Amino acid sequence: MREKTWRQTHVKVEVSALNFYTFAVTHRVLSPVAMPFTHRSAAADVRAMVGGEAAEPLRVAVLGSTGSIGTSTLDVIAACPARFSPYLLAAHRSTRLLLEQARACRPRWVVVVDPAAAAEIGVGALPEGTRLAVGPEALDDLVQSPEVDRVVSAIVGAAGLRSTWAALEAGKIVALANKETLVMAGPLAMRLAERTGGRIVPVDSEHSAIHQALRTGSADEVTRIVLTASGGPFRTRSSESLVHVTPEEALKHPTWSMGPKITIDSATMMNKALELIEARWLFGLPAAKLAVLVHPQSIVHSMVEFVDGSVIAQLSPPDMRLPIQYALSYPERIDGPTRRFDFTQAMTLEFSPPDPARFPAVRLGHEAATRGGTAGAVLNAANEEAVRGFLDGAIRFTDIAEVCARVLEEHPFQPDPSLDDVRRLDGWARQEVVKWACV
């Protein structure tokens, strides 16, 4: 069953590509796990890989283009114009940056999800050849367009589920940064992809590392997956002092530059909790086979242990452009803008287990990954609301994990929820946090 799930994630044979696939495997260009799976041009991709004609650039929809992942995605696209071209840029309400991006890269579409923000866009603000669409429905429609070859899902939070769902519904290949999709609705999203032929290639650096390491073995040879964590800015702080942490302190991450929500999640280590749940569904492994290890340098991005005791890790400087590029170019590896190591310099790599007393969020992630059902959606919603409360000064840093634990424990658990159940419990969990904060 486990092997089936994993292979369903990674190995899909397009009928039109079968001949080229057979050729490529026979000639040792591709292993079955690393076979290409593009809808538009699986065959052309293989021809390009074996030295034939060059494939057309893949048309990429960047959802959340004004954010940290979105801007890094545009860097990758700009660095690889023969491989990728921007088709659509979407953002919530940061129209100034969105228009700047549109002028720089000339996509076919820009989408502003918030109608009020869109109304402020002046006539003539868009470059020639770029059209404006407004609202979430327009985004769903455009993401499903046959002209979109790859979707980068980089909207932050639960808001990203909707457009990711639309992309998978249309059988798209999704480079998934929005971990909340799998945290909230992992089994539903994986089943949807299976039904439509959609694919998820992870962008989250840990899951990208695992995806890469898994290519060295088969699913039934995997004994453990170890997600690494930087430990955030408070890795060495005493538990007593954590109660006084301010938003300014928590927003300073030692190794990664990211959007504010995930930066706070890294400080509480709730990010690792969400990533455990993400890994649970993405790789189809039981929660008992998932572990977390603190690694402050953020060089080893995660590891897979195989049955013979070998541990395969993926290393690179901390730069999200690499996992983004990998997700866009998979199954190929191509040159790109990512920083390289300087091996003439000494380098130290440290590892230690996380401290459950100071970072109780990690346990919540294990719990939600073990329970499945509605646990992930409730933990995610409670955390989003708690982070908002912390940034607004309504609750303390240490309250985040505390309120999340309480809401998770008290929620009316459902083992096999529908998408409507997930949305309803998302709303319920948010209200519970607000009530708790007001007491």
Does position 258 bind ligand NAD by CB under 6 A?
A: yes
Out of 64, 232, 296, 360, point to the residue binding ligand NAD (CB under 6 A). Answer: 64
Stretch touching ligand NAD by CB under 6 A, among 90-98, 223-231, 241-249, 368-376: 90-98
Restricting to residues 165-194, which ones interact with ligand NAD according to CB under 6 A? 177-180
**Residue 68 binds which of Mg ion, ligand NAD, none (CB < 5-8 A, kind-dependent):** ligand NAD
**Residue 73 binds which of Mg ion, ligand NAD, none (CB < 5-8 A, kind-dependent):** none
Q: CB–CB of 408/383 below 8 Å?
A: no
Q: How far is 359 from 362, CA to CA, in rounded Å?
A: 6
**Residue 433 binds which of ligand NAD, Mg ion, none (CB < 5-8 A, kind-dependent):** none
In degrees, to the nearest 5, what angle opens at C-alpha 187 toward C-alphas 182 and 189? 60
Out of 75, 149, 204, 265, point to the residue binding Mg ion (CB under 5 A). Answer: 204
**Residue 74 binds which of Mg ion, ligand NAD, none (CB < 5-8 A, kind-dependent):** none
Stretch touching ligand NAD by CB under 6 A, among 65-73, 333-341, 355-363, 376-384: 65-73
Restricting to residues 192-251, which ones interact with ligand NAD according to CB under 6 A? 204
Q: Compare residues 136 and 171 and give the one whose CB is closer to ligand NAD.
A: 136
Out of 197, 217, 259, 337, point to the residue binding ligand NAD (CB under 6 A). Answer: 259
Does position 282 bind ligand NAD by CB under 6 A?
A: no
Contacts of residue 118, Cβ cutoff 8 Å, sequence gap at least 6: 95, 112, 132, 134, 135
Q: How far is 208 from 205, CA to CA, in rounded Å?
A: 5
Nearest CA among 79, 75, 89, 73 for reference residue 203: 73
Stretch touching Mg ion by CB under 5 A, among 118-126, 200-208, 358-366, 423-431: 200-208
Q: Compare residues 134 and 219 and give the one whose CB is closer to ligand NAD.
A: 134
Residue nearest to ligand NAD (CB): 67
Does position 278 bind Mg ion by CB under 5 A?
A: no
Q: How far is 392 from 363, CA to CA, in rounded Å?
A: 26
Out of 188, 193, 262, 422, point to the residue binding ligand NAD (CB under 6 A). Answer: 262
Stretch touching ligand NAD by CB under 6 A, among 52-60, 259-267, 293-301, 396-404: 259-267
Stretch touching ligand NAD by CB under 6 A, among 19-27, 151-159, 218-226, 227-235: 151-159
The footprint of ligand NAD on this chain (CB under 6 A) covers a number of residues equal to 27
Q: Which two tokens stand for residue 174?
A: 């999704």
Instruction: Label the pairing between strands 222-229 and 300-306.
Output: antiparallel
Tokens 């590509």, residue located: 17
Q: CB–CB of 164/181 below 8 Å?
A: yes
Stretch touching Mg ion by CB under 5 A, among 181-189, 202-210, 319-327, 425-433: 202-210
Stretch touching Mg ion by CB under 5 A, among 51-59, 204-212, 216-224, 397-405: 204-212
Q: Which two tokens stand for residue 413?
A: 């658990």
Q: CB–CB of 88/111 below 8 Å?
A: yes
Does position 75 bind Mg ion by CB under 5 A?
A: no
Q: Compare residues 78 and 243 and give the one whose CB is closer to ligand NAD.
A: 78
Q: Compare residues 168 and 320 and give the one whose CB is closer to ligand NAD.
A: 320
Q: CB–CB of 296/318 below 8 Å?
A: no
Out of 40, 59, 92, 211, point to the residue binding ligand NAD (CB under 6 A). Answer: 92
Q: CB–CB of 287/370 below 8 Å?
A: yes
Does position 155 bind ligand NAD by CB under 6 A?
A: yes
Contacts of residue 325, Cβ cutoff 8 Å, sequence gap at least 6: 76, 80, 334, 336, 337, 338
The footprint of Mg ion on this chain (CB under 5 A) covers a number of residues equal to 3
Q: Compare residues 70 and 373 and give the one whose CB is closer to ligand NAD.
A: 70
Q: Compare residues 230 and 329 and give the one whose CB is closer to Mg ion.
A: 230
CB of 244 to Mg ion, least distance (A): 27
Q: Which residues bind ligand NAD (CB under 6 A)?
A: 64-70, 91-92, 94, 113, 154-156, 159-160, 177-180, 204, 256, 258-259, 261-262, 320
Q: Which residues bind Mg ion (CB under 5 A)?
A: 204-206
